[in-house]
Structure 1
Amino acid sequence: MQRSSPRGSGGRESSASCSWGALARGYFDEYSDIDIVVFKRKGVRLGVPRERELEYKGFLVDYEVRDYEDELRRPWSMEERWTFSHAVVHYDPEGRVAKLLKRKVPLREGERRRLLRESLSWAAWYGWDFAETWARRGDLASAHYCVTVALSLLVRALFLLNGQLVPPDKWLLSEAAKLGRLPPNFAEIVREALLVRDLTREELERRKAAVAELRAWLEAGAAQPRPAT
């Protein structure tokens, strides 16, 4: 794919580009598409739509155009930060994209600790308090759903324990399996926590026991100093 380099005032380069998604992470198969984002200076016209999906040599390409100045001011979500943490910069003559990513992407230690505490706290609320309340109300479907939410929160906490940004839900379990610090029986815990044979109290307690094992491992890990990297 050809790179374009429109110029702004003073002859300075006015755009930069990078790719993200599965291709940038080295994970690409027949079900993946190619994601590209172009950063331009505000006011520069590139002559293309802001967002577009097209086919290129048999591959589906999603691209979007963003204003660099707006991105500097706009807070990025955790999902965006995770996505851009794997981005590959293809064209950045002024180094503006590199500076933007350095400013927006990193997970600071104070933020990591805060989010880890919050994830563990919310997991306890969902997996035990909320789930039990719904079970006593006779709504076992809601009780089981709360256990599923608790599992998701604890898997998110695994990334934070490892000092990493949290991926979107689509990639949560797949990427979690690659983390350096995991319970030795993580795959079994996830299987037991996700398996729902029936919406009964017995199944609820079995699933809660699996989630409790992951919660205990995380709480023990959170109480220890982070290994030096």
Structure 2
Amino acid sequence: MDNDRQMHDGDTRPSPTIDRQNQVDRLWDHLEATLPRFEALPGVVGVTLNGGISRGYGDELSEIDVTLYLTDTVHEAWVAGRAPIATGITVVDGQLYDIAVERIEAVEEGTWSETEQWDRSYAEILSDPDGRLAATFDEHLGSPPGLDHAEGLLFDCWWHFELATTCWVHRRDAVQAHYVLSGAVEPLIKSLFAVNEAYLPHEKWLVNLSRSLSWRPDDWETRLQSAIATGDGSMETVHERRDVIASLWDDVDRYARKQADEDVPVRWMQRTFYRALSSLVESEQVPYEKWDAAFGGGLLAMDPFASVARLDGDTVSLDETALDELTADELYDWHYQVVEAVSDRN
């Protein structure tokens, strides 16, 4: 087998930052010696290396993650307990492996999850005699989700540090407030990957790989530690954590809007609402099919659209009078900010 011992020269993907002796070459050597056994198994049409070693790092605690791609009938026999080798966590010639099996047709035809996209974006194709893996990887890994995905992640983060935490601060429950604040950290870090146009890692690697992203907020490491640390668990530390998380969120939000090829005078998490209302104000009438494709029909049941839009047959129409008469006390602040931004633009 001819491999490039990832990471490849010029590779700009996030890579591990670990201050320990990297034993990836030793693990690669073991895999090279073992690979022919996997390739010789009946029904195996492809093999990939996954996991940490494919990302360029391994040590004495690492297993070698290998995925075997099987034909339909062989896969059915293996998952029914008729596999000719042990799968899952197993020891092969003194080395720990994690052997996964996939039905090749399912990989080719199915929708890959967020974590599958990330893991397979690093995967090393070890055996692919018919080119099926190369073809399907090229098809499914066109480009990371990017700025579009950051919108929902930034909302998720905001919901945790602003809405939910505020409730529990008001109710004087510091432990519950800390708990929901912790829920803001994962979408915050994932939004950082999204604005860097990178696939979103599994939580096992999320913090570590964030250190090698091309853009990070200033003093990322120190501020992230403060965002995670609960201190003595007091209400004072709730406020301290929330301030740090909010400031990091603000940095990522501003970066997302700076990178966008459109003017978004609201927070990035409000972009879809802003674009939808702007489109309706500009056109006054939008064919429902076009609206549904761009924004989703369900948006019409949410504010501010529930107050200012009508669905007349196959057309979404703007109620200009209703929009002009909307006041701040009739809408949640989040929604009224969108209305104000659209009104200011027009």
Q: Is the TM value for this pair above 0.5? A: yes
More deviation, 85-94/138-147: 138-147
Match of 1:113 among 138, 147, 161: 147
Counterpart Cα distance in 2 of 1:200 and 1:149: 17
Determine the C-alpha separation between the residues in 1 that align with 2:136 and 2:229. 42
| SS of the residue 1:29 aligns to | coil
**Over alpha carbons, which structure has the higher Rg?**
2
Correspondence 1:64 to 2:94: no
> Where do residues 1-229 of structure 1 align in structure 2 (5 Å cutoff)?
1-3=34-36, 4-5=39-40, 15-44=45-74, 47-48=83-84, 51-108=87-144, 111-225=145-259
Q: List alignment gaps of at least 5 residues for structure 2.
A: 1-33, 262-346
C-alpha root-mean-square deviation of aligned residues, in Å? 2.1
Output the TM-score relative to the length of structure 2.
0.60
SS at match of 1:183: coil
Q: How many residues align?
A: 220
| Greater relative contact order structure (CA < 8 Å, 6+ sep) | 1
Distance in 2 (alpha carbons) for counterparts of 1:49 and 1:56: 10
**Deviations 1:124-148 (Å, cap 9, x if unpaired)?**
1110110111222232212112211
Q: Which has the higher helix share?
A: 2
Q: Summarize deviations over 1:158-191 as a string: whole Å, max 9, x none.
A: 1001000110111100000110101120011111
**Contact 2:147/2:197 (<8 A) preserved:** no
**SS state at 2:155 partner:** helix
Q: Contact 2:146 / 2:196 at 8 angstroms: preserved in 1?
A: no
How far is 1:49 from its partner? 5.5
Q: What CA distance in whole angstroms lies between the structure 1 residues aligned with 2:225 and 2:101? A: 40
2: CA distance between counterparts of 1:98 and 1:226?
Answer: 32
How far residue 112 of structure 1 moved from its aligned partner, in angstroms, is 2.5
C-alpha distance in 1, partners of 2:86/2:134?
21
Moved over 6 A (4+): none
The normalised TM-score by structure 1 is 0.88
CA distance in 1, matches of 2:146, 2:59: 32
Check whether the contact 1:6–1:15 (CA below 8 A) recurs between aligned residues. Answer: no
For residues 142 and 183 of structure 2, the distance between their equivalents in structure 1, rounded to whole angstroms, comes to 26
Identical-pair percentage: 24
* Distance across 2 between alignment mates of 1:57 and 1:154: 42
